[in-house]
Amino acid sequence: MSASIQDIIGKLKGVLLDDVYFYTVLIVVVGILSFGLGRLSVEEGSAVMKPQAVLVAQPAASLASDAKTIDTQPQTAENSKLVASKKGTKYHLLTCPGAKQMSEENKIYFNSEAEAKASGYTRAKNCKF
């Protein structure tokens, strides 16, 4: 009987050792794939994730009524609240560090967050709105 118990224990050890290697490799592969997918989901600077402006068609009657509410002042630093870079994808408050680092020739000014979002920009995470 002791021989059959030793055979069973030997087979059990073989299965456990093979499974340990299999599960170790499986966990490492799943971890690497999860990390890669996580990085892809938050990577906004890539050309694939760059936001584009979306144009929405409106009836002519609503365009006429909207014309009364459009601000006709040119957008400058004096009458704007937000700024973005022509080369970037984020908008900032004028007081944010990111806004201060932009060169003047690359700045685009916005009066509201809706206006900046409509132009394809997203809020900078380091600015407190």
For residue 59 the two structure tokens come to: 């009836």
Rg value, the chain, Cα: 29
Does some domain include residue 117? Answer: yes
Average pLDDT, the chain: 75
3-class DSSP state of 125:
coil
**Side by side, which strands form the sheet with 82-85?**
107-110, 82-85, 90-93, 122-123
Q: Are 122 and 89 in contact (CB under 8 A)?
A: yes
Does some domain include residue 92? Answer: yes
pLDDT of residue 67: 43
* Among the ranges given (47-61, 71-85, 95-109), the one the predictor scored with the smallest mean pLDDT: 47-61
Does some domain include residue 47? Answer: no
3-class DSSP state of 51:
coil
Using DSSP bridges, classify how beta strands 107-110 and 90-93 pair: parallel, antiparallel or unpaired: unpaired
* CB crowding 98-109: b at 16 or more within 10 Å, else e: bbeebeeeebbb
- Of the two residues 47 and 94, the one the predictor is more confident about is 94
Does some domain include residue 1? Answer: no
Query: Is the per-residue pLDDT at 1 higher than 90?
Result: no
Does some domain include residue 62? Answer: no
Does some domain include residue 66? Answer: no
Does some domain include residue 60? Answer: no
> What's the domain range around 106?
75-123
**Smallest Cα–Cα separation from 110: which of 69, 64, 79?**
79
Query: Is the per-residue pLDDT at 46 higher than 60?
Result: no
Does some domain include residue 85? Answer: yes
Domain count for the chain: 1
